[in-house]
Amino acid sequence: MKIAVIGGGSTYTPELIDGILRRQDRLPITEIHLVDINLDRVKVIAAFAQRMVKVSGSSIVVEFGTDLREAINGSTYVVSQFRVGTQTARHNDEMLGRHFGLIGQETVGVGGFAKALRTIPVALSIARVVAEVAPQAILLNFTNPAGLITQMLKTHVPHVNSIGLCNVPWNTKMELATALEIPAAELSLDYVGLNHLSWVRGVTHRDEDISMRALAAFRNLTINQAIAGDSPSWLQSDVDIFQAIPNYYLLYYFAQKPWIEYQKGHPTRASEVMKIETELMAKFADESLVTKPAELMQRGGAYYSDAAAELMADIYQDAGTVHIVNTLNNGAVAGLPDDAVLEISATITSAGAHSIGTHELAPEMHSLVSTVKDFEMLTIDAAITGNERSATLALLTNPLGPDISEVADVWKLIRKENQGMIGLFNE
């Protein structure tokens, strides 16, 4: 059984290797093929992965290279975790928002829009290769903006079995489990929304509804998270308003003024990640290092290995377990289109992910989810067709996008900074 990792030169890759090695009894992988456009970088990561495999006593073969078709050919799983334009493009996305007095972030607002335009053509090309040389493979998409990219995959290459993944739902469950002093495996979450735009509306422990206890626990967590001078965080009163546990990324929508102020006095996240990655790559190149370093947690991928490897193991085992993933609504949430990709609880079998029915969204949730889904669909249309009107409307539809008086200038700068990386708009 083979896994192809697209963007294998990522500093996240050792997390994935670690997760696979810890589940060899349930996920009997024989080969991992890391592929990346940066040969020097993927070579370092592959050598470290080989040392991790050796010290674990596993017989998994780790291959690497730059040939996409070779990597994907015959794979059982294809993990997508690439970044078009590297952290430099991410930095530019963040600065773009700041230039216009908007929130700069890599997955939401104008930054998420620019990243999507760079990513969609590449993700579409990869999916078509999967369809050709590994048609039975399951494509696990971690590439951001994960929900939007998965929506594109489901819409334009529906014959490829794709599932979108994010570590945030797993982080949320672990955080709640710790606060409640209950094993995470015993908790079930009524988790619904879009990637980086979601809520936990209810929590169950062994068939007992403990939602009020969970809300109280999360309210207490907000006290520790709110640190003067740090990035915006939820207040206890915010939880009372929602009567649900909000995804951290919802702060970009509901605390726009604090975020814009925070940006003025802090470097971009991309610039911080660049420093972290430089340090991590130096460690990975150290031939005496055989286990993932503690510094990897600073990268922001906590539980990435668990989310990915556990999902693959449960698919292989036809486990019938529940994971929170990005997949088609298919009637699970009334009032939203069946073909809309949601971040939602799903039953996992050997055939993939199957969304689990739940009650409809409250009006304050539905309105934001519907608007951002409209933005996603406009963005996908722009990237696939090169339609400038769709691009402009996507920017205007996004709740974090520019005013109509500035939309032309924002679009012009996006095109300028991403020349050569945005498909049809390169012409």
Query: Which class for 1: exposed (0-12), middle (13-18), buried (19 or more C-beta within 10 A)?
Result: middle
**Other C-beta atoms lying within 10 Å of the C-beta of residue 25:** 7
pLDDT at 227: 59
d(CA 280, CA 258): 31
Supply the pLDDT for residue 427: 59
Kindly tell me if the per-residue pLDDT of 22 is higher than 90. Answer: yes
Residue 32: both structure tokens together: 């991992």
pLDDT digits (tens, 9 = 90+) for 273-331: 999 999 999 999 999 999 988 878 777 666 878 899 999 999 999 999 999 999 999 99
Closest C-alpha among 406, 405, 332 to residue 369: 332
pLDDT of 304 reads: 79
Cα–Cα separations (whole angstroms), residue 225 to 198, 201, 258: 19, 21, 15
Which residues are part of the catalytic machinery? 249
Q: What is the DSSP letter of 37?
A: S
Closest C-alpha to 401, from 151, 108, 117, 196: 108
Closest CA to 303 of 168, 196, 209: 168
Per-chain mean pLDDT for the chain: 94
Q: Tell me the mean pLDDT in the region 209-229.
A: 82
> Region 191-204: what's the mean pLDDT?
97
**pLDDT value of position 295:** 79
Contacts of residue 224, Cβ cutoff 8 Å, sequence gap at least 6: none
Does residue 165 sit in helix, strand or coil? coil
Q: What is the pLDDT of residues 107-129, one digit of tens each?
A: 999 999 999 999 999 999 999 99
